[in-house]
Amino acid sequence: MSMQRPSKPILLFLLLLQFAACRDRGTNPTTISQMTKGTVDNNGVDIHYTDSKAGETVLFFVHGWGIDHTYWDSQTSYFSKAYRVVTIDLPGFGTSGRNRTSWTVEAYARDIKAVMEALELKKVILIGHSMSGSIVVEAARAHPSGIIGLVGVDNMKAIGFAMTPEMEREWDTHYATMEKHFERSVAEEGKFLFSPTTDPAVQKRVLRDISSADPAIAVASLKNLDKYPFAQKLQSLEQPLYLINSDYQPTDTLAFKQNHIDYHLLNMGTTGHYPMIENSKRFNALLEKAIGSIMEKGAR
Measure the N-to-C terminal CA separation of the chain; round to a whole number of Å. 37
Least confident range of 24-38, 72-86, 244-258: 24-38
State the helix-helix crossing angle for 182-189 and 9-18, rounded to 10 degrees.
Answer: 60
Instruction: Write down the pLDDT at residue 20.
Output: 31
Question: Exposed/middle/buried for 135, CB within 10 Å: 0-12, 13-18, 19+?
Answer: buried
Residues 146 and 153: their CA atoms lie apart, in Å, by 21
Rounded distance, CA 19 to CA 27, Å? Answer: 39
For 283, other C-beta atoms within 10 Å of its C-beta total 24
CA angle 280/150/160 to nearest 5° reads 100
**How far apart are alpha carbons 277 and 76 in whole angstroms?**
12
For 70, list phi and psi in degrees, rounded to 5.
Answer: -70, -15
In one-letter notation, the amino acid at residue 44 is G
pLDDT tens-digit map of 145-175? 999 999 999 999 999 888 888 998 999 999 9
pLDDT, position 29: 52
Report whether pLDDT(120) > 90. Answer: yes
Q: DSSP strand E in the chain: where? A: 36-42, 45-51, 58-62, 84-88, 124-129, 147-153, 241-246, 264-269
Please, which residues have CB within 8 angstroms of residue 239's CB and are 6 or more apart in sequence?
Answer: 140, 144, 147, 148, 149, 150
Taking only the tens place, the pLDDT of each residue in 197-253 is 999 999 999 999 999 999 999 999 999 998 899 999 999 999 999 999 999 999 999
Q: Which amino acid is at 150?
A: L
CA-wise closest residue to 18 among 274, 270, 215, 248: 248
pLDDT of 19 reads 39
* Domain at 9-299, CATH class: alpha beta
- Three-class SS state of 159: coil
Residues 6 or more apart from 18 whose CB is under 8 A from it?
Answer: 155, 156, 157, 158, 159, 161, 249, 250, 251, 252
What confidence tier does 11 reach under pLDDT thresholds 50, 70, 90?
A: low
pTM above 0.85, yes or no: yes
Half-sphere exposure for 164 (CA within 13 Å, toward CB): 5
> Which of these, 220, 218, 222, lies nearest to 207 by C-alpha position?
218
User: Counting Cβ atoms within 10 Å, is residue 255 exposed (0-12), middle (13-18) or buried (19+)?
Assistant: buried
Identify the bridge partners of residue 128 per DSSP, sorted by sequence position. Answer: 62, 152
- CA-CA distance, 230 to 66, in Å (whole number)? 21
